[in-house]
Amino acid sequence: MDGFNFSTEVAVRFAETDAQGIAHHASFVVSLEVARVAYLAEHAGGYLSIQAGGIEALTTEVQLAYRRAAYFDERLLVWTRCVDLRGARFRYEYVVARAGEVVADGSTSHATVDAVTRRPTRVPAWFVDAVARAEALPAL
């Protein structure tokens, strides 16, 4: 997937299907989160590293376009990249693919806040560096 260095696989769970016989659209929002967690585990010590610094990342926006239906037990690759880190904000972009075909694409925006006060706090420098390294990797 052009421009993406990272992907993680999710399988459509039966509980995620709906009476239209397809993966329910809300389940993709959770799949994007699974992909972010996998991205952080691969590149930045996991979400627990962020929390260890007394920081939580809140989700401030979700945008998803559904291109094709996905079905029970299908393996989907969630291509994921972290972009636009600035101050207390960053964004992820995603392409959800099945056998090279786009099933959905979208983005999520996030804000880092102090875990206790919930006030905005800058993205830690180590996280900015880790993402810079991850995104500079040659494409898979």
Q: By the 8 A CB rule, do 80 and 36 touch?
A: yes
Per-residue x/- track, 59-98, a second copy (CB under 8 A): xxxxxxxx--x-xxx-------------------------
Give the C-alpha distances (Å, rounded to integers) separating 44 from 7, 11, 130. Answer: 15, 24, 6
Which range, of 26-34, 83-91, 92-100, 129-137, touches a second copy by CB under 8 A?
26-34
Is 37 a binding residue for a second copy by CB under 8 A? The answer is: yes
- CA-to-CA distance for 95 and 76, rounded, in angstroms? 10
Return all residues near 54 (Cβ < 8 A) that are at least 6 apart.
Answer: 114, 115, 116
Least Å distance between CB 136 and a second copy?
26
Quick one: which of 46, 44, 45, 30 has its CA closest to 78? 30
Least Å distance between CB 17 and a second copy?
4
User: Footprint of a second copy on this chain (CB under 8 A)?
Assistant: 13-15, 17-22, 24-26, 29-30, 33-34, 37, 41, 46-48, 56, 58-66, 69, 71-73, 118
